[in-house]
Structure 1
């Protein structure tokens, strides 16, 4: 048997790994990546002689996929958890505690955002249960439209946008309720009489466990282990042709005949690849927009008096260029042991890819200057790393779930073809891992 996986990000690597585990050495496995490296939007570089992640640096701790995968690969000792410190929100030229017990920044009542928004907004939130709610069952809206109407624009800019910016590199007015907050959509569909009630019903139960997890030596440790275990014939710097049906499978030039193909690329590239084989899927994929961002990692003197918080999120409308800071040496105990203080600055939101056009020097300077603004600390970095992510994250706009359903329905009618990626059922690393596993399962069922 011969299978090709197109796309060397986490989704494609997991798919390749699952195929190898199931089919063993008899499988001839080709992994194709158009860039010169594997990992997609996961990348671990070095700063001050130690690894630092320049893409995602954490995963949702409540999901089981990554801890289970680390165990399978013999990497249990790589699993780490944050120190438990809370982030801040920079709004109105001041730092505020991140509201607790919210749903992606959406409160269930005024108490959660007291001090972050003004008294008029607090009164508007308090009266929200008494105002008629218009929600069509099965419908959708942007998070910004829904929350702005029910709770006011200050809640959107100061509480919701900072969190959505971290997850999707987007804004509340570019993200749909149904795809990004399915629990909230379900509560509204079930007849919740107010947004306050719907948020209360959708909030997960309190948990004593860690919200996030991480990998001690960065995601590179996981990526390298997956590649080694999958043992594919790796082809980097190559863009294959669209798969063409043959009598017994597929032709994927320049690699020739294969029995099955998994396409694990971002939505626009996937659309180009599957257009001939699954035109309806390609049409839906092409409608998914991408957002760009940049990450700057700074190494500061080890005695830099960083705030005792995990990070600082920036509200929209603030006169800063960075949208967030991760105070890595405060957030992660294993990073606090290093000889430098580590900070990551994030730039770029949906509709604004200006930071990607700046030089490395401009990004580093903006990161250091904005960090000084939000912390009051003037410090010159001893080292820095810059990573740009053009088109790095899909935007889950209103109607996204219908697009995904159309994609999966169309692909289901094409034997020997599967798709995976962050544009389907979640942008986080656990969701991408699940997507790669699902694609491999589909191919295994096809191969019998």
Structure 2
């Protein structure tokens, strides 16, 4: 039986481990932290257990919903309620106009969000010449050009800030919205391309899990433990080399030899480990670029608030509207199972919500202790309309230091060069959010590709 070491115990690493074990390989997973599951993590607030990281998966891709079924969680799968989010502009929550990832699909619907002058310019987007895009641009700068900066600031920026904790004028159009970028390369109205990409009647975009999406990671860990996969927490991989015909992973407590290694770790860590393969691994230029991939740190402040009865699913906050809070999710209004548990525990006048804090480049806003972060976050949210009677009952902070990769210009070509280089290294594969997307489905897709490479390299496919 061949032995494989998976470095990284997030959702990507756990999924790789399951695929390789099911193919008959002996698998060990090394995780530097104290728990497995990565950003699928529970948070305890008051008498409740909610999601402290990702709270949903894409329902229109097969990877995550397929894994839910495979692990016997299909009956717990749930959809969001009919509540919709709003965006906070000039001190007031406003209806969110239709868009595709923040790209307007109906420029006329932008009027309530913009000044009259900005709305008039945005509405001409479908009429103005749009030559084919010849190369990658930042998605924010392109929306500036097509719709005007106010659309970027008030729609695109808060939407992408919630997904990537990034800044749209620094994020690659090609990497963030590849299908839309491919359409823009043919020329023509961006609004029309976005509208043509919508799938009306396709059902909810997102799916949740009764009890929390962290249950997916829990079930995956339980399946691996039952199967005899070695899960080693508090074990940091510090090096990777070839020795005696095997791949050798140096760790914080010794060495592990394997026939194959999967690196399911952030880009800088992957670059440092791959560098240990010297002449038998990827070239220095690729690894140098990989090590420079930036990550944003964020914090989720989960709160129980009495005297609050939200009907919206959340509130997106453009930069500058509040000092530090970039988004609110009214979890008890967005997810039926959360609302039920809150009512059972606290009655009808308590809401559970998540405040998201932290954007790329704003590390300083997180450099306070948890108690200060809670006080500051609640003080900001308490200024919002409808919060006049609000009373904070409990709050918990979940920090994700360096949690979200930033897809800068040229990110997709970098990933292609990396995969090409790693493809020439027998027994080594990569997986993770920096490759194809930050969502659970995209991470699982990268895990499937990594498992396929290992099986092919070992001749077990």
Same fold (TM over 0.5): yes
**Cα root mean square deviation, aligned:** 1.6
Map Cα deviations across residues 214-250 of structure 1 (whole Å, 9 max, x no partner). 1222233211221222232122222223221235331
Q: How do 1:217-366 residues align onto structure 2 when only pairs under 5 Å count? A: 217-231=211-225, 232-253=229-250, 254-277=254-277, 278-280=281-283, 281-301=286-306, 304-338=307-341, 339-340=345-346, 341-366=351-376
> Are 2:114 and 1:117 equivalent residues in the alignment?
yes
3-state SS of 2:103 partner? coil
* 1:208 Cα deviation from its structure 2 partner: 4.7
3-state SS of 1:256 partner? strand
* Residue 140 of structure 1, aligned match among 133, 136, 143: 136
Comparing 43-52 with 417-426, greater Cα deviation is found at 43-52
The residue that corresponds to 2:36 in the other structure is 38
CA distance in 2 between partners of 1:293 and 1:213 (Å): 23
The residue that corresponds to 1:438 in the other structure is 449
Tell me the TM-score normalised to structure 2 length: 0.91
* 1:65 Cα deviation from its structure 2 partner: 1.5
* 1:313 Cα deviation from its structure 2 partner: 0.5
3-state SS of 2:325 partner? coil
Tell me if the contact between 2:323 and 2:380 (Cα under 8 Å) persists in the aligned partners: yes
Tell me if the contact between 1:90 and 1:374 (Cα under 8 Å) persists in the aligned partners: no
Tell me if the contact between 2:132 and 2:188 (Cα under 8 Å) persists in the aligned partners: no
Tell me if the contact between 1:322 and 1:346 (Cα under 8 Å) persists in the aligned partners: yes
CA distance in 1 between partners of 2:332 and 2:133 (Å): 46
CA distance in 2 between partners of 1:167 and 1:207 (Å): 24
Comparing 354-363 with 342-351, greater Cα deviation is found at 354-363
* 1:134 Cα deviation from its structure 2 partner: 4.8
* Residue 153 of structure 2, aligned match among 152, 157, 177: 157
**Could you list the runs of 5+ residues in structure 2 that have no partner in the other structure?**
none
The residue that corresponds to 1:416 in the other structure is 427
Tell me if the contact between 2:313 and 2:333 (Cα under 8 Å) persists in the aligned partners: yes
3-state SS of 2:60 partner? coil
CA distance in 1 between partners of 2:266 and 2:46 (Å): 32
* 1:382 Cα deviation from its structure 2 partner: 1.8
Comparing 288-297 with 213-222, greater Cα deviation is found at 213-222
* 1:60 Cα deviation from its structure 2 partner: 1.6
> Matched residue pairs, number?
439
> Are 2:16 and 1:8 equivalent residues in the alignment?
no
> Are 2:190 and 1:189 equivalent residues in the alignment?
no
CA distance in 2 between partners of 1:36 and 1:286 (Å): 24
> Are 2:367 and 1:367 equivalent residues in the alignment?
no
Comparing 400-409 with 252-261, greater Cα deviation is found at 252-261
Map Cα deviations across residues 361-391 of structure 1 (whole Å, 9 max, x no partner). 2221222222222233142322211011111
3-state SS of 2:113 partner? coil
The residue that corresponds to 1:447 in the other structure is 458
Tell me if the contact between 1:418 and 1:439 (Cα under 8 Å) persists in the aligned partners: yes
Comparing 2-11 with 52-61, greater Cα deviation is found at 52-61
CA distance in 2 between partners of 1:47 and 1:22 (Å): 40
Tell me if the contact between 2:282 and 2:422 (Cα under 8 Å) persists in the aligned partners: no
Tell me if the contact between 1:368 and 1:380 (Cα under 8 Å) persists in the aligned partners: no
3-state SS of 1:95 partner? strand
CA distance in 1 between partners of 2:437 and 2:262 (Å): 18
Comparing 361-370 with 2-11, greater Cα deviation is found at 361-370
Tell me if the contact between 1:368 and 1:379 (Cα under 8 Å) persists in the aligned partners: no
Tell me the TM-score normalised to structure 1 length: 0.94
Tell me if the contact between 2:131 and 2:188 (Cα under 8 Å) persists in the aligned partners: no
CA distance in 1 between partners of 2:270 and 2:385 (Å): 42
The residue that corresponds to 1:29 in the other structure is 27
3-state SS of 2:112 partner? coil
CA distance in 1 between partners of 2:292 and 2:37 (Å): 24
3-state SS of 1:252 partner? strand
Tell me if the contact between 1:327 and 1:343 (Cα under 8 Å) persists in the aligned partners: yes
* 1:141 Cα deviation from its structure 2 partner: 0.8
3-state SS of 2:23 partner? helix
Distance 1:16 1:375, change over 3 A: farther
Comparing 258-267 with 141-150, greater Cα deviation is found at 141-150
Comparing 228-237 with 417-426, greater Cα deviation is found at 228-237
Tell me if the contact between 1:312 and 1:326 (Cα under 8 Å) persists in the aligned partners: yes
